[in-house]
Each structure stands twice: as C-alpha cells, then as structure tokens.
Amino acid sequence: MNAEVKEKAVKGLKTTWCTTWTFAVNTARRGKILGRYTLACWQQQKLKKALRQLGAQTFQALERGEANPLAAPEVNEALQRLKALKEVKDKNYDAIRAIREKIRTSCVIPTPEEPGGVEETPPVP
C-alpha cells in the first residue's frame, strides 16, 4: 500500500514537473516568435521603402528615355536590394514556422490508460 502511494506521488510530481517545464519553454518560444514578428514588421517597412525607391528610379529611367528601365544600373541595384530584403523576410517567417512546430510537438498530452486495460476496438477473432 505504501509503495503504491509513493509510486503515485512520484508519477504526479514527474507529470507536474514535465508540464511546468514545457510551459516555461513554450513561453520562451512564444517570446521568440513575438520578437521575430517585431523584426518582420521592421523588415516590411524597409521592404516598402525599397519598393518606393525602385518605382521612383524606374520612373526616372523612363523619363530619361531608357528602352528597358530594368537594365539601368540604379534600377537593377534597387531591384537586387528588394530581392535580398524579401529573402531575409521569408527566412524570418520560416524561423517562426519552425518555432511553432516545436511548440506544437512539445504539447503532446499523453492519454490516460483505460481502466482495466480495456481497448476501444477489441481484436477480431
């Protein structure tokens, strides 16, 4: 009897510790996600600014009479800068997805065993 009580107490403490640890780790992960979203907002502002500059430089190249404004060096440079910013932003969102997947996999709640070892679908004879 005493051994059973001890075993249940240890199991309860272990479950409590695991739940508390998972909660703390996932809270830190959510903080990381918040930081990544803040960074993504800042990157979006930079992206919009680069897009405005690209449009202005394309318009200037057209005013100069360029046949292909994307071939102009300043327009091409602005386009490359825009592509680089988009790649950085996409990598940031990929990191957010990876963190969310870690949270999702760490929240596995074990199902309690059925009393008496009864299975939901008994084997077919």
pLDDT in tens, 28-38: 999 999 999 99
More confident residue, 112 or 63: 63
- Distance from first CA to last CA of the chain, Å, rounded? 38
Residue 62 has pLDDT above 50, yes or no: yes
pLDDT of residue 123: 46
- Local structure of residue 67 (DSSP, 8 states): S
pLDDT of residue 113: 57
pLDDT of residue 13: 87
Cα–Cα dist 99/96, whole Å: 5
